[in-house]
Amino acid sequence: MSALQYSRMDSPIGELLLTGDGHALRGLHMMQGRRPVAVGADWLQADHAFEAVRAQLTDYFAGRRTSFDVPLRLEGTAFQREVWDGLLEIDYGDTISYGELARRIGRPRAVRAVGLANGRNPIAVIVPCHRVIGADGTLTGYGGGLESKRLLLDLESRLLAPAMF
């Protein structure tokens, strides 16, 4: 297996660390968040390998993109992958509760487990865990901090708002 590749990127939610294997994105980590990732001694900096991801993220943050089409490699348990696949089904600009996400993946009694899996999402922003909120509509935990979650949700809601003349 080849060494993990990485690149760093500035964004409105702080520095992002992108990781991949040369074929697919394996991680998008918010370095100002609760769980910043340390670059491994054997990782290779390969900015060129992440040009498409960087371009799509730049367009997303600028309000020019509502979806992503970069190859992803989500590594986790079967249950975690079910949750992450469910996250990918949440439309841009929408929010749902943890309970709704649990229902959508056919696990209505697993709300807490869904929350834990959501929190372990290795590819923030692109796999939109920020679109999951509390049952009462409040913002709840987010690895990048609630300010980042609010920024992402505000970005998406502004772009969907009807134009005011």
Question: Which residue of the set 13, 83, 105, 129 is catalytic?
Answer: 129
Beta bridge partners of 25: 20, 72
Predicted confidence at residue 160, as pLDDT, reads 56
Distance CA 98, CA 83 (A): 10
Per-residue pLDDT of the chain (165 residues; tens, 9 = 90+): 568 999 999 999 999 999 999 999 999 999 987 778 999 999 999 999 999 999 999 999 999 999 999 999 999 999 999 999 999 999 999 999 999 999 999 999 999 999 999 999 999 999 999 999 988 888 887 778 888 999 999 999 886 555 544
Q: Which of 106, 66, 57, 65 is nearest to 85 (CA)?
A: 106
Positions of CATH 3.30.160 in the chain: 5-61
* DSSP-derived secondary structure letter, 50: G
Task: Please indicate whether residue 129 is annotated as part of the active site.
Answer: yes
Which listed CATH number (1.10.150.20, 1.10.10.10, 2.60.120.560, 2.40.50.100) goes with 78-160? 1.10.10.10
Q: What is the pLDDT of residue 165?
A: 41
Which CATH number is associated with domain 5-61?
3.30.160
| pTM, to two decimals | 0.91
The confidence score (pLDDT) of residue 145 equals 81
